[in-house]
Amino acid sequence: MKMAGIDVHKKVLMAVVVDTSTPQEKPARRRFPTMPSELHRLLTWLREQGAEEVVLESTAQYWRSVWLELEPHMRLHLAQAFSNRAPRGRKHDFKDAERLVHRLMADELILSFVPSGEQRIWRSMTGMKVQLTRDRVRLQNQMECLLEEMRIKLSIVVSKLLGASGLRILHALANGETDPKKLAQLGGERLQCTEEQLVDALTGRAPPVHREMLALQLQRLQLIDQQMARLNGMIAAAMKAHQDAVIRLAEVPGLGVDSAQQIIAEVGAQASTFGSAAELTSWVGTCPGKEESAEQNHSSRSAKGNKYLRRVLNQAAHAAVAKKGSHFQAVFRRLLPRLGYQSAVWAVAHRLCRLVWKILHEGVRFIERGCEPTPQEKKKRAQMLARALRKLGYEVTVTPINQLAPKPAV
């Protein structure tokens, strides 16, 4: 069998074809530009050489076009560039490509997970939505900074600056209204502040330049909201076939429809790539690390994993521990004295990750048990209390209540 290695750059790529039966022989080499027509020539050349398997080095995002060209015709592998590094001072593009093949044959490469074409589209859409959300938050901070320069303290008396009342006031201010009393009348009845407080917060100086800048920011906000609404529809349409999986994930405390869609975009609708929950947690990077020397673990810091899924699970863990009466809140309170806040939240994120695999892989639903202890927890709690009482000198016998109930008459 012949195997190809490709060292990908932005403008050019270096390809070699190695015969695995005689790896000591000099491989065939060819340099190709990365334009679309040249990538088609690359495919033709690989077919002429008889290559059946190709390994690429993941250089930024430039490997994507090569992957899409070769994916329908050959078996592909994507290697992390760090695992193919050369000895210092001996860097050479063709040798790097040849080293890719030899290290793949020796099982010495760290391969990256490349999802299917459908899942890659999901990732692109959810990633764009996350970026728009960040842009919206950044824009809100810029608007608040501009209001501070105008000496308007609207964000102090209004809990949500970009809510319905806040937007009405901001639009009127951008359109030239500077009277604090007229601006205060635009506030809704649900505001928690008095009219006097709102008038006081809106009493400032609004120069024409600042009002024009505010109008531009409001236009940009409207554009972001329109794009996010359109993306929501595109993501829902793309995942319509997996609607049940989205609903089952959204039922978990801390998660919702948006975070469920992001999780499915990263791991797939059935998480079929991962054979167990432990594999998924290891790939995401939520499981505790082990840095062992002389039978002592010097660090339990989690390894780096999928940064997108880590962010979603971290946010979901913070929301789950805040839900009153939830199972994850009970777990968090039990771990908090021993681990501290940050580690306890991360432990909840680890449990959420394992739960995500079980829900997607086995098709089950989440059932909230709340704070009600299970029979095993009751038994463990009783044994712990009995042990504590015996240490104090008491003689204790643990008997279940069901055994003390009188037998029914025959």
Instruction: Please report, rounded to a whole number, the percentage of residues in the chain having pLDDT higher than 70.
Output: 94
Helix axes 257-267, 117-149, angle to 10 degrees: 140
Helix or strand (DSSP H, E) at 352: helix 341-362
Measured between alpha carbons, how far is 57 from 47 in angstroms, rounded to an integer?
20
Task: For residue 69, give both structure tokens.
Answer: 């060209």
Q: Grade residue 134 by pLDDT with cuts at 50, 70 and 90.
A: very high
Which two tokens mark 54? 């190709």
pLDDT value of position 371: 62
**What is the model's pLDDT at position 405?**
47
Is pLDDT at 277 greater than 50 in this prediction? yes
Q: Quick one: CA torsion of 99, 101, 106, 107, rounded to 10 degrees?
A: 110
User: Which residue in the block uniquely carries the two structure tokens 């909230």?
Assistant: 368
Q: Taking a C-beta distance cutoff of 8 angstroms, is the pair 217, 146 a contact?
A: yes
What pLDDT does 407 receive? 47
- pLDDT interval class at 137 (50, 70, 90): very high
Highest CATH level, class, for 2-105? alpha beta
CA distances to 46, 135, 156, 269, 277 from 261, rounded to whole Å, are 38, 20, 34, 9, 19
| Cβ neighbours of residue 62 closer than 8 Å, sequence gap 6 or more | 8, 9, 10, 34
pLDDT digits 0-9 by tens, 284-316:
988 877 777 776 776 777 778 889 999 999 999
Domain boundaries, the chain: 2-105, 119-238, 242-290+300-362, 375-400
pLDDT at residue 170 in the model: 93
174-192 pLDDT, tens digit each:
998 888 899 888 888 888 8
State yes or no: pLDDT of 409 exceeds 60. no
* Whether pLDDT at 28 is above 60: yes
- Name the strand (E) or helix (H) holding 79: strand 75-80
Q: For the segment 140-152, what is each residue's pLDDT rounded down to a tens digit? A: 999 999 999 999 9
Whether the CA torsion 33, 35, 41, 46 is positive or negative: it is: positive
Residue that wins the pLDDT comparison between 240 and 401: 240
